[in-house]
Structure formats: C-alpha cells, structure tokens
Structure 1
C-alpha cells in the first residue's frame, strides 16, 4: 500500500514538474514571438508613418506638445470662422466637485475666472448632498454660496448633487477624493475637462476640448515622481535606442504641417520614452505580466497591480464620459480600492483603469487581430502648462522638467540651444498651478500670507537675487488666491 502511495506521489510530482516545464517553455516561446513582433512593428511605424491613414501605433503611449494642441485648436477655430462650421458648446464642460465649503469657494473662484476668460462650455459642479444637508454646520453658508455660483450664469452653470464616496475609517485629506470618479458618468457631454479646484487657473483651457476625438482620457504626468536618472534614461532612449531626434521642434513643425493638411497626426506625436513605464529589456514579459490576476478579476484586492513610475496626475483630466467606463469603475475597480489601505483616485486610474503597461498589452492584442479597428485611447498632456505644482516653484530639482515637459525631448532652437526663458516665463505660461507644497497646507488654512510667506535667508542662500525672484513668484501665487477667497464672503 505504501509502495502504491509513493508511486502515486512520484507520478504526481513528475506530472507537476512536466506541466511546469511545458508552461515555462510555452511562455518563453510566446514572449520570444511577441518580442519579435514588437520590434517589427516599432520599425514599421517609424518608417511608414508618413503614408499611414487609419492605422495607429499600438505600442506607444504618446505625448502631445502644447504647440500641437494650439495648432489643432487654431485649425478648428479657422474652420468655424471661415467655413461656417459650428460648435455645440453644450456638449463640452469644465467639471469640479465639492464636498466641503472650502472647495466650494474654490469652485466659485474658478468658475468666475472661466467666465472672465470667455469660455462657452458648460461649468458643471458635482456637489456633495452631505454638505447641503441641514445637519451640516456649514449648510446655510454652502447653500448661499451655491446660489451665487448658479447666478454666475444660470444657463451655463450646471449644479448636480451627488453622494460623496468616502473610504471607511479614513481621515486623510484624500478621504473623499474618490467622489471625483463620478466625472466619468457625466454622459450628457461628449468631452469634459475635469479640474481639481484647489488651484490657480490662469487662462481658459478650451483648446483641450479639441484634441483628437478618439482619445478617451488625457492627463499630465505626475512629474514629481521622476528623478535625474529617469530623465537621463528618457533622453538616452529617444536619442540612442529609438535613434530619434530629441529636438522637439523636429516633431512640432511636422505636426503643424499635417494639421493644416488635415492629415493624421497620432503616429507623429512624440513617444513617452519606454524606460519610464516599461522594462525595456523584455517588453513582452513586462506587458504580459501586467494582466490582472484571477483573484483581481474576481474582485479580491491583492495589491498585485503596479503602475509604472510614469503616472497620470488626476488634478486635470480630459475625459470622454462613458457609462461603460463608469460601470467598470463602480462594480469592479472601486470596491477593491475601498478595501485597500492608502489607495485613492490616482491609484485606481494608474494601477487599474489606465495602467500603461496593461494598456500596451491590450492595445497590441487588439491590433494583431483587427488592425484597422484599433483606436488609441490615452494621451499625455504637457504638465508645464496643465499640471504644475506650486511646490515646484521653490524646488530647483524640478526646473529641468518644467523647461522640457515633453519627457525625453528638449525645446531647442535651430542651432540646438535652449530658449532663453526664465522661471517666471514658465510659471506665467502655465495655465493651471495646483496648490501642493508639503508641509504647507492649502491657502485657505492660513489667516494671511505672512503665516507662510517665502523669505530668503541671505546667509544661507548661494544666489540671493535668484531666490528673491523665486519667493516673489510663490508669494504672488498664494497671495492672489487668498485675496480672491474674500469674494466668497464666508
């Protein structure tokens, strides 16, 4: 009996070992074949892109420079002015959400500014029912301020009460940030620009409504996660591995010509350098491993999904709302995040909904079957214009990225020199500055600028005059917002 048992055990072990060998062999063959296909198509799209129409590169995450965004907008406005084309502005909206009185005040300031900047798009506010409840100590002030927001323009302003999404037992400043995910369900619009309201909005962003319509999600990168090594790897990849020029003008000039000719531009956009989101030593293995596990597909939080170092920020997002996407969020992704500690809206977007590695895997899988049916969904916006942190003004380590916010590429003149722009120029050109400068809190947490004012220590600073300019920029930003908050009359 024991002999039989030992034989069975040896047989089972042998069978298991054989199965593992077969599995590893099959995976190795699949990876090898996939890597060959990836190399082939990378060369194919680089060599053939000028003549391609209706076929999109599935192996790249693309970045769109501000020059190209402006060229697309100018082309659209020219068609409106000279060819009688119309724009249904009711299908476009700027969206905020507010779950407390401070953020409601920020929305009032932001919507008032958007009116002043001349946008015709709807101004859509998702406001927490809980804040307006009579049980809330601020409900009276909130309702009065909400009426003032409506009165900015009763036709243009849309107020939609929503239920806040809270993480249980969470007291962090992001405890209700998951509420913003309801923006994906605002399907009365074709496209929305979601904005966190704790920011200084310095100009209209109407141009973002007219990036390619097939793009379902576009956002700046959370650039503060990168360091010098990442930037060097990005430049090296573009220049050496991809054998492409790093001068951004080589791309923007060609893109402008193609836009004027109404030609396809996606394949000509600069790539996000793969080392920022992929293991370039074995791309096939990396994207295959990005697939969700069986437990994750069953809704069990495993902590197994990992986003790349390149992450989308969730402060500014251009979204084509979709009931299907929202259903996926509500029924599959949100329950996992609610059960996971220290995971919020940005984690859901980067680890699950728009995981870059996983996106490449599914894109290529679809492309291999239905080449002409594949359409890209993601786009990286330039953070220098649409996603600057207030803390970066004082952080000299961030200056190289602010100057060159299309990562892996440089803004150079025809002689290969950087343009003589100052930090003040870059801050002035930025349309959206998010108040984030730890350990300093939001502007409304302080009685006056004097409480947090940036000051130069002449004895500690190497370049006193330069530091004075930095402090002047930072102080002006915070002072402006503090002054505007008096408009809320709270």
Structure 2
C-alpha cells in the first residue's frame, strides 16, 4: 500500500533569479540615463541664467546722460531728449544743467521754464543741476560775441559717474544709445564731422562719450577764459575747437554712421562721405532706419522751432533728383523730421513755433551752415486749441 506524500515532501517550483552582477549593471545604467536627461533639461536654463547674471552686473547708476539748457528754447529741446530716453527705456541716470537764476517754483501758468524743470525732474527723473552757464568771448575789437553752448562741457564735472554721454539739444533721438556706455575704457569717444571740408575730419561735439574728470574740466575753463577766435565763437563752434585740440589724436572715433547723421544729408546729391563706400548706392529709407540720432542743420533755413518761410522751404527742401514737383523718400523723411519735432515740442513743452523770419533777409547773411540760432522766444500754448499754422509743414 502506497503512502501518500505530505505536501512538504512534494517537489516545488523554484523561480529563476537574476544574477547579482546583472542587477548591479542595470541599476547603474538607469542612473546614467537619468543623469544625462537631467543635464539635458537643465543646460539651457543654466545658460540663460548666466546671460541674465551678466546683464544684472551692469550698475546703471554709474552712467549718465548729460543735457544742458542756456535759454528757454534749449530747455524744451532737452526735455524732448529726456522724453526719448524714457521711451527707449534707457536705464542710465539723466543730468540736466540749467542757469542758476531759474527756479522750480511755478508762479503762473506762463512760467514755462519752471514747469519744464519740474517735468524733467518729476516725470523723466532728471537730476537738476543749477549752474552758471559757461561762456567764451570772441577775440574781437569793439563789440564782443559771446557763446554759451560751451556749457555742454559741464559734463566733464560729473566725476562721480564712470562714463557720461553728452548730447546737443538740436537733434532728434531715434534709438537708445545705452550701448555706448559699454565701450572699451577711453577718456573720450566721438564721431567725426564728416560734412566738413578739412581732412582728416575733426571730431564732432554733437555726441561725446566722456570719462568725467575735474582736471579736464578745469583745463577747459582756463582755455575759455582766454577767449576764442571770433568766427568760431559766433558760429558756436568753439567747444568743437578746444575738444579737438585736446582729444583729436587720442579719442576713440565712433562711426558717424549711425551716430552722426544730419538733416542736410537728405538735401545733398553726393553721399559718398556719409556712406563711406563709393560703391554703395544711396538709400534714404535705409539710412534713416539705421540712424541712432539726427541733428537739424539746414542753414540758412531756420531750425525746427522757428516757422518756415514758404519761399525758404521751396528753395531748400530736397529736390528729388532735380525735380521740384511731387515727392521722394528724401523729401518725405526730411519734412517728417521737422514735423515730428514741432509736434513733440507742442505736445510735451506746450510751446508753439516761433514766427517765420523774412527769408530774403536771412539767406543773404553770412553764417556757417552748422550754426544754431535760437531766434526769439516761442509763444506759450496755454489753451487747448492749437493754431494749425503752428505745426504745418510750412511752419
């Protein structure tokens, strides 16, 4: 008789198990794949973070734009530049020098200077610096000529900044200039006055990137005290003369394209000097779009804050290749620059254009092409209505 086996005596199925060495290899393979995946995911963000940290290392309060005003017209134009800097998102400080006999106490609705100083300070965050404007006298016998545009050299006194960009006021800013603060170290960087006849072209003071220095500032003041050539003083070019004497051979030269375009370029027929390439074809729209700033200079036509004599516009506007009929890119851009300036002057400064002078009398006067003439004071805009002639193309 067969004995039944107990359950614990029956054969059992034993599971096949992996070898320890295989389990070890597969586990570390998983770790390796996971590590590669994490690196792949994190690498772009780490690169972006590094780039952002480079940007954040720029301490913008160490840099500043320097503007100046010696009369009411120039004050408005400085405010227009402040407005442009704000629109373009400039992160540097803004400094405005103005005559110390002005104040910020608004005494009446017609106290436009005080209103504009408050606007500069409160809306555009400008640091106001009341100063006695710098002057230089022409070395002439009899009647003396005086020039206060040398006040722009006050920018050298801002020694607590690492670098300062000093701008003239008779211009339109078309783009941010903040990249100029990051130029290689140099005491001065300027574009050349490509429109002059002399070669090499002198440096232009319409845009100066300065390493501020009180020693340099005092040297300029001493040079001014001895007076200047009467023709240079009358043409408001003495500042250009003494800056070239000091920095002509040591300045870092900025390309005038795109940092020194003038409205007169759109009236010229030969653009080789501006283009810098005899083989390049002039394209007015391209030149305008690439420009960072444009200075108004169309003597004897009055500057943009003075209304245009109709005969003067007809004679001085771009001739569209010899045709005085119709329009062209040069004429459209040229007139547009003046119209834009007048509209911003009206809307921001609340100032109307100065009445037009007699064209026959001003075009006969001997006067350098690049001189700035402020003319009489502009009427204030105190009412909501604006006379149409104040900003029309012929005004």
Same fold (TM over 0.5): yes
Q: Is the 8 A contact 1:117 1:203 kept in 2?
A: yes
Mapped to 2, the partners of 1:138 and 1:329 lie a distance apart of 39
Change (3 A) 1:188 1:453: same
Secondary structure at the counterpart of residue 433 of structure 1:
strand
Q: Residue deviations 1:380-407, cap 9 Å, x none? A: 111121111111111123x112222xxx
Q: Is the 8 A contact 2:266 2:318 kept in 1?
A: no
Q: Which residue number corresponds to residue 113 of structure 2?
A: 142
Q: Residue deviations 1:347-400, cap 9 Å, x none? A: 1112x222x3xx4xxxxxxxxxxxxxxxxx411111121111111111123x11
Q: Is the 8 A contact 1:131 1:139 kept in 2?
A: no
Q: Which residue number corresponds to residue 295 of structure 2?
A: 434
Mapped to 2, the partners of 1:78 and 1:440 lie a distance apart of 53
Change (3 A) 1:108 1:153: closer
Provide the alpha-carbon RMSD of the alignment.
Answer: 3.3
Q: Residue deviations 1:210-241, cap 9 Å, x none? A: 1102x111111111113xxx8xxxxxxxxxxx
Q: Which residue number corresponds to residue 349 of structure 1?
A: 243
Change (3 A) 1:201 1:452: farther
Secondary structure at the counterpart of residue 118 of structure 1:
coil
Q: Which residue number corresponds to residue 177 of structure 1?
A: 149
Q: Which residue number corresponds to residue 205 of structure 1?
A: 177
Residue 109 (structure 1) aligned with residue 2 (structure 2): no
Secondary structure at the counterpart of residue 152 of structure 2:
helix
Mapped to 1, the partners of 2:58 and 2:50 lie a distance apart of 10
Shift of 1:107: 1.1
Residue 124 (structure 1) aligned with residue 95 (structure 2): yes
Q: Is the 8 A contact 2:100 2:131 kept in 1?
A: yes
Shift of 1:327: 2.0
Change (3 A) 1:163 1:467: same
Which structure shows the bigger proportion of residues in helix conformation?
1
Change (3 A) 1:79 1:353: farther
TM-score where L is the length of structure 1: 0.54
Mapped to 2, the partners of 1:187 and 1:179 lie a distance apart of 16
Q: Which residue number corresponds to residue 52 of structure 2?
A: 81
Residue 158 (structure 1) aligned with residue 158 (structure 2): no
Q: Is the 8 A contact 1:101 1:138 kept in 2?
A: no
Change (3 A) 1:424 1:323: same
Report which of the two structures shows the higher radius of gyration computed on alpha carbons. 2
Shift of 1:118: 0.6
Q: Which residue number corresponds to residue 334 of structure 1?
A: 224
Q: Is the 8 A contact 1:456 1:471 kept in 2?
A: no
Q: Which residue number corresponds to residue 260 of structure 1?
A: none
Mapped to 1, the partners of 2:175 and 2:320 lie a distance apart of 36
Q: Is the 8 A contact 1:218 1:317 kept in 2?
A: yes
Q: Which residue number corresponds to residue 400 of structure 1?
A: 272
Q: Which residue number corresponds to residue 474 of structure 1?
A: 334
Mapped to 2, the partners of 1:346 and 1:116 lie a distance apart of 29
TM-score where L is the length of structure 2: 0.66
Change (3 A) 1:470 1:330: same
Shift of 1:140: 2.6
Q: Is the 8 A contact 2:136 2:225 kept in 1?
A: no
Mapped to 2, the partners of 1:388 and 1:151 lie a distance apart of 31
Shift of 1:340: 3.6
Q: Is the 8 A contact 1:132 1:139 kept in 2?
A: no
Matches within 5 A, 1:185-204: 185-204=157-176
Shift of 1:471: 1.2
